[in-house]
A and B are shown apart, each in its own frame.
Chain A
């Protein structure tokens, strides 16, 4: 069983073919990175996988299940979580509330149960809190727990974005440019976390990234895109020396 597969993914926006016949497969437990110049269609692929867009052609298969027509809000329940390139946190809520919301897919309470705040609901709330605290521990976000997102610096918000995706308890994690806007130290931390996510938490990671150091450090396999078309797939080492990738993206 292939863990995740995209077959012949294509999408047109008006006259522009943003993603053109892209196929790739992600194995369970690996870190798979998509690289390419800006406008190559990387985030569009993410939006296709998380079903924000509908593909013009092609198929998405997750754990042998065709998810091409699944509505966007059911994707998280299937075990796919994502972060957003431009941080889509809930600005006027605290960090804790942001993370707690991510537990929504594991909600077992009914409306009327919540209305009366039955003991069962209280119990479940505490369980959600425990799960969130584990993620907070993992990412060292303790001191920001009760801060409103509007008051947090950019680096912390990026980490919160990651934390929120982790709180959904995913099997496949989509990271959209996790190191953009982070300084060297924060990027190193991010590299360690991605490794821990893979090794300790057993989550498969599908990543879009520009920072080639981070890509080489954590990725198992890399797909290079240009103008919506795949140009090469392989290990980071192979990709870095692939002539076409060098010409289109890496330069030098």
Chain B
């Protein structure tokens, strides 16, 4: 059992809690750097999706997890970033400038959405973001001069200062670097007055106001920053998906992003990354299991001679092949997480770490909350 002694204020401000934590993150960094040389390009591509979703997760975590403003239409910002970036690239704007412009445009739209949000609370804000997303999706379809509508827009791989990022590994490193940068910047904000102001807005607007926090300004900053990150993610998303179409950025994608932050663990940056791992890797996992389960079970059946096992395998395989099963799985996991582990994957990870660090004195009811009653959130 390790106890961290605090001897200076610096320790509370530092990025990493102590040397040991820093070392583990270092190990993680080394592993991530080595992965492209160890895995096939298919897997490298899938992990790149994790990075892109990770940036989206951080964006939504800032808005929903830290400031407490629910957005049901965040995929719209992703789309704005993606289309803007693709448009500028097609008109010959250099990559860095194009990404910067796309981010700026998305930030501006974030502020536009945020302004009326200042007067709205909770569920009204959520529905306003939903309405915004629906309208934006229609704009993507109709504004053919810019987005080419249903015909779609092809996006090539990035060329930055003459360097081509054509293969899976180089794009992987690009996305990893941007994710790391995003995490660092967001962590900086969160350990500064701005981050504290966001948490204050989430927990008690009245008290925040009495402490001098200008609610309008900080809510707008939250929207702007969140949108900016989505714009950045959108640019990378455009490259990864290689072909933009309006029916990518649907409400269902927004809900998938919300699922990301909840399953990952609301209120922590780790949660954003954990959630991204989950959301990015679940569809390919189902795709693999779809064929692997019937195959393995039929092997077992033929070696053991129990035909039932093979039949079970085939039923599971057929079930997984039906359309719409993926959405059902997402739904099921969402329900299970909210029911059984409201703190999400990161919460469970913390509990597991606590178990091992306090072994054998871990108490099973450490995290049991007293029975809580629903208080009206209308009067928050």
Contact = CB atoms under 8 A, between A and B. Distances in A.
Q: Do chains A and B touch in the complex (CB under 8 A)?
A: yes
For the complex of A and B, 10 pairs with smallest distance between CB atoms: A76-B212, A114-B192, A88-B207, A90-B203, A117-B188, A105-B212, A101-B196, A107-B193, A129-B9, A73-B214
A114 B193 contact: yes
Interface of B: 9-10, 12-13, 185, 188-189, 191-194, 196-197, 199-200, 202-204, 206-215, 221, 267
A73 B212 contact: yes
B192 A93 contact: no
Contacts of A84: 206-207, 210
| Chain A, interface residues (CB within 8 Å), range | 35 or more
Contacts of B212: 73-77, 104-105, 168
A91 interface: yes
Contacts of A5: none
25 contacts: A52-B209, A73-B210, A73-B214, A75-B210, A76-B211, A77-B212, A81-B210, A84-B206, A88-B206, A90-B199, A90-B203, A90-B208, A91-B203, A92-B199, A92-B202, A92-B267, A93-B196, A93-B199, A100-B196, A101-B197, A105-B212, A107-B193, A114-B188, A126-B10, A130-B9
Interface in A134-157: none
Nearest to B369: A150
Interface of A: 50, 52, 72-77, 81-82, 84, 88-93, 96-97, 100-105, 107, 109, 111, 114-117, 121-122, 125-126, 128-130, 133, 164, 168
A102 B207 CA distance: 10
Nearest to B205: A88
Contact of B211 (A96, A102, A111): A102
Given A76-B212, A116-B188, A129 B207 contact: no
Nearest to B221: A111
Contacts of A130: 9
Contacts, number: 105
A76 B210 contact: yes
Contacts of A111: 194, 221
- Residue among B10, B196, B208, B214 with max Cβ neighbours from chain A (10 Å): B196
Contact of A109 (B193, B202, B213, B215): B193
A96 to B, nearest CB: 8
Nearest to A128: B193
B13 A82 contact: no
- Residue among B188, B200, B210, B213 with max Cβ neighbours from chain A (10 Å): B210
A88 B189 contact: no
- Overall SS of chain A's interface: helix
Contacts of A74: 212
Nearest to B13: A125
B58 to A, nearest CB: 13
Contacts of A75: 210, 212
Contacts of B193: 101, 103-104, 107, 109, 114, 128
Nearest to B203: A90
Contacts of B13: 122, 125-126, 129
A76 B209 CA distance: 9
Contacts of B196: 93, 97, 100-101, 104
Given A97-B196, A97-B199, A105-B211, A88 B204 contact: yes
A89 B207 contact: yes
A52 B12 CA distance: 34
A90 B9 contact: no
Given A101-B196, A104-B193, A104-B196, A93 B203 contact: yes
- Residue among A74, A88, A168 with max Cβ neighbours from chain B (10 Å): A88
A168 B206 contact: no
A82 B191 CA distance: 25
A73 B194 contact: no
A114 B194 contact: yes
Contact of B192 (A52, A81, A121, A129): A121
Given A90-B199, A111-B194, A73 B207 contact: no
Contacts of A105: 211-212
Given A101-B196, A109-B193, A114-B193, A73 B215 contact: yes
A148 to B, nearest CB: 11
A116 B194 CA distance: 13
A164 B210 CA distance: 11
A146 B206 CA distance: 23
Nearest to A121: B192
Contact of A114 (B189, B200, B208, B215): B189
A168 B212 CA distance: 9
Given A73-B213, A114-B192, A126 B9 contact: yes
A92 B203 contact: yes
Contacts of B215: 73
A196 to B, nearest CB: 22
A164 B200 CA distance: 13
B103 to A, nearest CB: 13
Contacts of A133: 9
Contacts of A81: 210
Contacts of B12: 96, 129
Contacts of A77: 212
B197 A104 contact: yes
Contacts of B197: 101, 104
Nearest to A174: B210
A198 to B, nearest CB: 21
A115 B195 CA distance: 10
A192 to B, nearest CB: 25
- Residue among B193, B202, B204 with max Cβ neighbours from chain A (10 Å): B193
